[in-house]
Amino acid sequence: MAATILVVEDEPAIQELISYSLRQAKHTVFSTKNAEEAMKIINEALPDLVLLDWMLPGMSGADFARMLRRAARTKDIPIIMLTARADESDKVSGLESGADDYVTKPFSPRELLARIKAVLRRRAPEAADDVVEIGGLRLDSATHRVTANEIEVVLGPTEFRLLHYLMTHSERVHSRSQLLDQVWGDHVFVEDRTVDVHIRRLRKALENVDKDGLVQTVRGSGYRLSAGQAVSAG
Amino acid sequence: MAATILVVEDEPAIQELISYSLRQAKHTVFSTKNAEEAMKIINEALPDLVLLDWMLPGMSGADFARMLRRAARTKDIPIIMLTARADESDKVSGLESGADDYVTKPFSPRELLARIKAVLRRRAPEAADDVVEIGGLRLDSATHRVTANEIEVVLGPTEFRLLHYLMTHSERVHSRSQLLDQVWGDHVFVEDRTVDVHIRRLRKALENVDKDGLVQTVRGSGYRLSAGQAVSAG
DNA sequence: AAACAGTATTGCGGTTTTGTGACATTTGCA
DNA sequence: TGCAAATGTCACAAAACCGCAATACTGTTT
């Protein structure tokens, strides 16, 4: 959800407003007043999206958009054009130049954010309908369901993600820290012990379909999901 | 089968005839005399199809079609061109400009409707199905009716579209944003939470026929319509 | 066997996400 | 013009979740 956005807008006031609200929404913002500088920034690192003013000193926004569209490296970056209300033909040429959407000034920060969200979502590859199946347990991310023998296992969001990760990386041992990074997200400050709790919740839910044995503890290392059962001698 | 159609035609008589027969066929119609106005309408919300007169005052139909094809947001809208006579070169250029089909004047409303149906079907293979039935709930988009066990369920327009979408894309989880895009429209700006309210209204209506369990909440992800029950062991 | 270190369980307070009913507007029509 | 249906937002209640920490276990090491 949080993305890196390049804002190309010469009016300081609008520039300020946009940057502020984008940052407020957890996005990372780079901003410039003209196309030339924007180009430099893009050369450094590709943003996830470009907010481009239609009227710019020097190279116009439309021309800049077209340029981005022509270069292989930048042609897939979503572009949202900022146009002045008045003339409709601007919108037309704006979109023709390759923009994914446009927002007419004046606009509310809220609207801008909604548009950004929509464009980013549209660009994101349709979540592949991936279905994983291991040891008689089946997880379908499209329908967001986990079943075993036709019986559904009800899981909370975190347990679902955790199981998803374990299933797509089965047979391997994952330390608690690794799980926190992969399942909770990078740089999240949560106790290692919390993983235990979620593993516990996951196992409990799997007990209902007799599949709790799939989640195994590897003492001193972490956890592992494995179809091969852990046999305790004894 | 009911669709939203934008008619761009400058001759009042023909305009009238077309609008009348389209509405008769349950389509929603927007109409204008020229490309410029048409652009404004499209900026508001995308129609499912555009009926475009080849000859238009100002920007020509062909140019307008090309323009639509170039813009990312509109390039997938089906276009049917209305040409003055069976002039081969017109047809050719018409199709070249990006039209999906063409109809030569004079034409019968019947022929026009057939072409429209064909084009829409080609574009949306799955939406062509007029009747959907899931979990004992039956929705007929032709008669705009929803029934369960012979009993009719009364729904408002939005709830109807929402249910229709969910039924034609059942089992899958849809986020609120996705639902807004699909059910409300491409360029509308409303709160995510609004979806909740309509889901609520939909469920309430379905309660009358004991089918409200079909609409399920997937916490953290969105909603899903499913015939399968969530069986959670205690 | 006692001391340890690593795990399993549970209960709980605090949050976040949903469900709901009420309300202000807008829209279509009578 | 006035009414009724349809809609988008709110504010508050209800649920579902989370992460933590205290406590109970388990397997190892000395």
- Quote the pLDDT of residue A124: 66
Look up the protein residue whose alpha carbon has the minimum distance to the C1' of C10: A197
- Quote the pLDDT of residue B231: 42
Whose tokens are 């991310």? That residue is A141
The highest-confidence range among A10-14, B80-84, B112-116, by mean pLDDT, is A10-14
Mean pLDDT, 10 residues at a time, over chain A (234 residues)? 87 88 86 90 90 84 84 84 61 59 76 82 67 93 92 95 96 95 90 96 95 93 82 42
DSSP B11-34: -HHHHHHHHHHHHHTT-EEEEESS
Complete edge-to-edge strand list for the sheet that includes strand A222-225:
A173-174, A222-225, A215-218
As given in the structure block, the two tokens for residue A163 are 């199981």
Instruction: Give the start-to-end residue ranges of the domains of chain A.
Output: 4-123, 131-225
**pTM score:** 0.74
CATH number for the domain formed by residue range(s) B131-225: 1.10.10.10
CB-CB under 8 Å, B71 with A95: yes
Q: What is the total residue count of chain A?
A: 234
Res. B233: pLDDT tops 50: no
Q: pLDDT of B157-203, one tens digit each?
A: 899 999 999 998 899 999 998 899 888 877 678 889 999 999 999 99
- Quote the pLDDT of residue A232: 45
Fold of B4-123: Rossmann fold (3.40.50)
Q: pLDDT of B197-229, one tens digit each?
A: 999 999 999 998 888 899 999 999 999 999 865
DSSP A31-79: EESSHHHHHHHHHH---SEEEEESS-SSS-HHHHHHHHHHSTTTTTS-E
- Quote the pLDDT of residue B229: 55
- Quote the pLDDT of residue A96: 57
Q: Which of A110, A144, A151 sits opposite B218 (nearest CB)?
A: A144
Q: Which of A88, A117, A151 sits opposite B231 (nearest CB)?
A: A151
CB-CB under 8 Å, B177 with A117: yes
- Quote the pLDDT of residue B166: 94
- Quote the pLDDT of residue B31: 84
- Quote the pLDDT of residue A91: 47
